[in-house]
Amino acid sequence: MNNTLENAPVVDATFGGGKFLSFQLSKEEYGIAILKVREIIGTVDITSLPRTPDYVLGVVNLRGRIIPVIDLRRKFGLEPKEFTNETCIVVVDCGEEGDSSFRVGCIVDSVSEVLTISNEHFEEAPRCANSSGAYIDGLAKLKDRVLILLDIDKVIGDIDPASLTAGAE
Partner 1 sequence: MSIANEIQSLRQLIDRFAESGSAGAADLVRQMRGLAEHPDGKAITELVAVCQATAASIETLLGSEQLGDAMEVVEKHLKEVLAYAEAWGASLDGQGDPVTKPAPEPLAVDHAGDDQHYAETVGMFVSNALTAVSDIEEELLSVETAGDALEDTVSSIRRTVHTLKAEFGVLNMLPPQKLCHQAETTIDAVVEHGAAFPVDLMLQFGDQIKQYLERLAADVHAQFGDAEPMLKQFSEIEAAAKDTPADGDEPVDLGVGGDFADSLPDFISEARSHLADAEVAIVELSRDSGNGENLNLTFRAFHTIKGVAGFLNLSSVVELAHVAETLLDGARSGRFNFVAEDIDVVLAAGDMITQMIGAMEGGPAPTMGEWRKLISDIKERSDAERSAAPSPEAEAPATAAAPATPAASDKAVSPAPAATDKAEGEQAKKPEVIVPKKAVAPKKKKAETQAARVERTIKVSTTRLDMLVDMVGELVIAQSMVAQDPTIQNLESQALARNIGQVGKITRDLQEAAMSLRMVTVKATFQKMARLVRDVAGKSGKKVNLALAGEDTELDRNVVEQISDPLVHMIRNAIDHGIESPDARLDAGKDAEGELTLSAYHQGGSIVIEIRDDGRGLDRNKVFEKAVTKGLIPEGTSQSSLSDMEIFNMIFLPGFSTAEKVTDLSGRGVGMDVVRRNIEALRGKIEIESTLGEGTTFRLRLPLTLAIIDGMIVRVGKSRYVVPTLSIEQSFRPSTDDVHYVVDRGECVHVRGAVLPIYRLKEVFDQQDGCTELGDGILIVVEVDGQRSCLFVDEIVGQQQVVIKSLGMSRDRITGLSGGAIMTDGRVALIVDVGTLVESILTV
Q: Which spans of this chain sit near partner 1 (rule: CB under 8 A)?
A: 45, 47-52, 58-61, 63-68, 100, 102-104, 159-162, 164-165, 168
In whole angstroms, give the CA distance from residue 35 to residue 79. 29
The least distance separating partner 1 from the CB of residue 39, rounded to whole angstroms, comes to: 15
In whole angstroms, give the CA distance from residue 123 to residue 149. 10
Q: Which of 8, 5, 85, 84 is nearest to 37 (CA)?
A: 5
Pick 6 or 160: Cβ nearer partner 1: 160
The least distance separating partner 1 from the CB of residue 169, rounded to whole angstroms, comes to: 9
Pick 116 or 163: Cβ nearer partner 1: 163
The least distance separating partner 1 from the CB of residue 61, rounded to whole angstroms, comes to: 5
Pick 3 or 161: Cβ nearer partner 1: 161
Pick 2 or 163: Cβ nearer partner 1: 163
Pick 69 or 148: Cβ nearer partner 1: 69
Q: Which of 15, 43, 154 is nearest to 109 (CA)?
A: 43
Q: Which of 110, 139, 105, 109 is nearest to 36 (CA)?
A: 105
In whole angstroms, give the CA distance from residue 158 to residue 76. 12
The least distance separating partner 1 from the CB of residue 51, rounded to whole angstroms, comes to: 5
The least distance separating partner 1 from the CB of residue 99, rounded to whole angstroms, comes to: 8
Q: Which of 109, 111, 96 is nearest to 153 (CA)?
A: 96
In whole angstroms, give the CA distance from residue 98 to residue 8. 20
